[in-house]
Chain A
Amino acid sequence: MTKETIKKKNFGRWSKQVGWKYLVAAIMIVYAIFPILYILSTSLTDMGGIENKTLFGQFYLGNYRDLLASKSYPYRTWLWNTFFIASLTAIISVFISACAAFAFSRLRFKGRRPGLLALILVQMFPSVLGLVAVYGILSALTDYIPAIGLGTKWGLILVYLGGSLGAGTYLMYGFFNTVPKELDEAAKIDGATHTQIYFQIILRLVSPILAVMGLLSFIGTSSDYVLASIVFNKSSQYTIAVGLGTLISDPFSKNWALFSAGAIIAATPIVILFISLQRYIVSGLTGGAVKG
């Protein structure tokens, strides 16, 4: 047998055992990315409507320029609103959930188990179904404490906080349980107070998880459409989700390319963060159910 035939034979075996996997993966990758390629290429056309037929037939940056300069669609304000609301919600909700999770994980008190059960149950009430009540609370606040009423960022942040605590606390409770209790016992014997144990030992140990939970909360909040759309009614108050919706709400509008540009700008940082932190995110999502 010559070297050539050995190589050929090896290649044949390789393609039978491994090579076809690349082929299937390639097909799946095409399925996974073609909508994103479509929106990216649409954002680079000067057609305006949805009639973009070929991928990357054009390279036109005008949509990005127009969108960032637009007066009728204050995109930069939307970006800022979204960033402000989502990051504050993420930071505050992670902190509050961590406090509650610490209590559930480390302290023993009456009503601990029913409390946990109630948390799981209450967060199953879908936020869309509570819209009437949420609207009622906010419009009452508008009359008396306008700073946190309808049309304000803080009002929406409070609503998000109320909604995110249940799930957040429960997930974090799982992670806190994985931190060995012997650590805090040792610290306690050394004379540490509960605040020292909490802030300087536990929170530091779970800080990667806190970051991931914060990121997940950020993504979730910035993607919300329904609550934001009932709280805000002025273009300058919109978040990205609501604002981009108004851009294409008219079916005959020629804003499709503008929308595409807006979508690409808004999605890029989130996609990059997500992909680079995917390992942690998966563990955050599964709540320790799967040890990957």
Chain B
Amino acid sequence: MTAAIEYFQFVLAPQILVGLVLGVAVILVALGLTIIFGLLDVINMSHGEFYALGAFVALALASLGLPFWLLLILVPLVMLPVGYVVERGLIQRVFHGGERHVTTLLLTFGLGLVMEDGFRLVFGPNPYKPEVPISGAIDIFGVFLPLYRLFLILGGAVVVAAVALVVYRTRLGAMVRAAAFDRNMAASLGVPVQHVYAGAFAFGVALAGLAGVMLAPIYSVFPTMGRDFILMAFTVVIVGGMGSIAGVVVAGLLLTQVQAISSLYISPVWSDPIVFGIMVVMLMVRPQGLFGRLGHG
């Protein structure tokens, strides 16, 4: 019995907590992705690079002496106009062609490559490690958790709740959902669809930037960091239901727990095949994902 308790305390519980932190990280990145996909029907392949951009902007601002807590607000605000300009200046140009999925996918993929090289030119290839803003750790019933990771779990929950509140409980959110459901009807009812689209893209990009700021102290900052979470984030969006916020949360927590627990018993190399296997099965059995699209049902 004591062996079982000790196993839970030293091995299983820390693993679940670690998986939870990773889950929150993935959810933060996937959140913006799912909003952009659900509303614009655009697969944003440069989302990972916007996440990296957020981290680099934070790095640059922090070197000016700005405190971390201010950056949590400042970086998303900087990212908003960036996202708005990208949507109006680039995505809108190819958005109305016949092959929307292909052209926007290629455009954002190319944009991601350009951004990654840009980071390398400006910041060099070596990693930067921002100081962890809250040092120290707590002991929860003998389970060790660094304070910043606890903050990440709580902060992530707050961000998800705030996003859900904006999308489902405000007039702005109603316009967004209306435009996602039926663009023409929404437009004829006076919803400024063009601005809603650009605004939603900017919102998704700002969320990616926020994820960059919050995760930088844990995962460090370097030009190719955008590739880190992006495959996992896409998987979460597909399994959760494209465009669904609840889907991202449920799938994000589920898949990372599967990864964390399975890596205890089988070689960690298998955790990726397992997760992508779940995605493949999901696409075969229930292609719309766990939950429906944004604005539908």
Q: Say whether A associates with B.
A: no
Q: List the interface of chain B (C-beta within 8 A of A).
A: none
Q: List the interface of chain A (C-beta within 8 A of B).
A: none
